[in-house]
Structure 1
Amino acid sequence: MTATKPSDLAALVGTEIGVSDWTEITQDQINTFADVTDDHQFIHIDPEKAAQTPFGGTIAHGFLTLSMLSSLAGGTSLVLDGIVMGINYGFEKVRFLTPVRAGRKIRGRFTLAEAVERNPGQWMLKYDVIVEIDGEDKPALMAQWLTLQIVG
């Protein structure tokens, strides 16, 4: 990945920065997430009961799909020249649109929506993110994700 000069950010606003590789969401990941978050709703962990729902099987927690953004962004998001550290700053907006069935693949599309120098050497980057599901028309989620990069 090539480092981006802060002076080049304005020209990149509104452009798609990257698209991740497809990543499978496994039942093991879903079960582990259920254990870590203490969210054991049957729709996530019980294949037999979940098969009786309109989803036809188990689905990933929405927050599991959201938490995959860090992994999906690796290699696709901007890294500023001279970066000392990057910080996940949170979200302006998150919408869960389509559940991700166990065994399905997802990928992220990242568009730079805004770049603001908050303080000297501190750049707030806002990404419009779409997480697609392989074979689905509607995305799993859409979000506006904020990151802060400190350059030195």
Structure 2
Amino acid sequence: MPKPSELQSLIGTEVGVSSWIEIDQARIDAFAEVTNDHQFIHVNPELAKQTPFGSTIAHGFLTLSLASGMSYEAVAPLEGVVMGVNYGFDKLRFLAPVPVNSRVRGRFKLLSAEDKGGGRWLIKHELTVEIDGGDKPALIAEWLGMQMVGG
């Protein structure tokens, strides 16, 4: 757990990498159910074979939604953190489809850390979600989180 006073020295460095996560059809189908996004490229293997993708692909938002779990595993919270909340994104780009039965993982680089006063720290990470064996990442985002440090 880094101390708030150490954050500036970590800017520009990779601060964590998550484990690989399997993206199988059951996960894709479950996400489609929860979000009511049943587009055939995600849930119909026969029709998806006829597309340039050659198979079903994960929803972009499914890939993005895995970021929370990736970050819990890969990024240590600040020392003394009481709670953290999602603050949003400055940038988000989906760069490559995630084919069914592939694996993804998240890489986190600290971009900035702003002391907002009152124990609040606005932390910005560059999140790159890699596809195992892929030429391009599935997505790249600048992700904002607010961490509250008790004192």
Same fold (TM over 0.5): yes
Return the letter of the residue paired with 2:134.
E
Aligned with 2:91 (options 65, 90, 93): 93
Match of 1:149 among 141, 144, 147: 147
TM-aligned CA deviation for residue 78 of structure 1: 3.1
Aligned to 2:116: 118
| SS at structure 1 position matched to 2:74 | coil
> Where does structure 1 differ by over 6 angstroms across 4 or more consecutive aligned residues?
none
**Structure 2 match to 1:83:** 81
SS of corresponding position for 1:56:
coil
1:1-152 mapped onto 2 (5 Å cutoff): 3-152=1-150
Letter in 2 for 1:114: S
Structure 2: which amino acid aligns with 1:20?
A: S
CA distance in 2, matches of 1:15, 1:120: 26
Distance 2:3 2:64 in 1: 28
What's the CA shift for 1:75?
2.4
Where do 5+ consecutive residues of structure 1 fail to align? none
Q: CA RMSD in A?
A: 0.7
Q: Deviations over 1:51-78 (max 9, x none)?
A: 0000000000000000000111122113
Secondary structure in 1 matching 2:28:
helix
Q: Per-residue deviation at 1:47?
A: 0.2
1:126 shift after superposition: 0.1
CA displacement at 1:22 relative to structure 2: 0.9
Secondary structure (helix, strand or coil) at the match of 1:75 reads helix
| Superposition deviation, residue 119 in structure 1 | 1.9
Mapped to 2, the partners of 1:4 and 1:60 lie a distance apart of 34
Residues in 2 aligned to 1:117 and 1:107: alpha-carbon distance in whole angstroms: 29
TM-score, normalised to structure 1, is: 0.96
Q: Distance in 1 between matches of 2:27 and 2:130?
A: 18
Offset of residue 92 of structure 1:
0.7
